Amino acid sequence: MDDAEAQALNRAIRLLSLRHRARAAELLAPLGLSTGQEALLLELSHAEATTQAQLSSALGCEPPSVTVMIRKLEARGIVRRGPSPSDKRATLVELTDDGRALVERIGVVWRQLADETVTGLDDATASELAGLLMTLTGNIDDRYRIE
């Protein structure tokens, strides 16, 4: 890849990332959520209860960031924390009924954002896009994985 192609690719990825996050913030604001909180809630929706350490790993966030998000969501009654019955050092986090209802609303927002993002692409290209983006993510992850 020559310099011009590299600059164009990196610029496109950077702009997409910035604009996607900004639009997500706009769509999540009426739900009282900031970006990142929705990912935590979606992650919790796939498990009955999980530890804060597992959430940090799944989200690719530092544990203190996850702790702050959980505290804010707990104060709103969206999640609850409690001790792990199997590990006294661990805290389990789970959705409340209000949290599960909010996850459904997040799903609507996420579908809207996805539809807006792929507007103008044919169905085949839009379907292929997620796989291509995950390949790019994997390329970066493979180069920075600490073993």
List, for residues 30-42, the tens digit of each pLDDT value.
Answer: 999 999 999 999 9
Instruction: Give the dihedral of Cα atoms 133, 6, 17, 145; nearest 10 deg.
Output: 60
Residue 45 pLDDT grade (very low, low, confident, very high; cuts 50, 70, 90): very high
3-state secondary structure of 50: strand
The fold adopted by the segment(s) 3-144 is Arc Repressor Mutant, subunit A (1.10.10)
Confidence of residue 57 (pLDDT cuts 50, 70, 90): confident
The predicted pLDDT at position 65 comes to: 92
At 141 the pLDDT is: 79
Domain spans in the chain, listed from the N-terminal domain onward: 3-144
Query: CA 94 to CA 80: how far, in whole Å?
Result: 6
Measured over the CA atoms of residue 60, residue 61, residue 67 and residue 73, the dihedral's sign is: negative
How confident is the model over 111-130, as pLDDT tens digits? 999 999 999 999 999 999 99
pTM given for the model: 0.83
CA distance 99 to 54: 19
The predicted-structure confidence for 61-95, as pLDDT tens digits, reads as follows: 898 999 999 999 999 999 999 988 888 888 899 99
d(CA 126, CA 47): 29
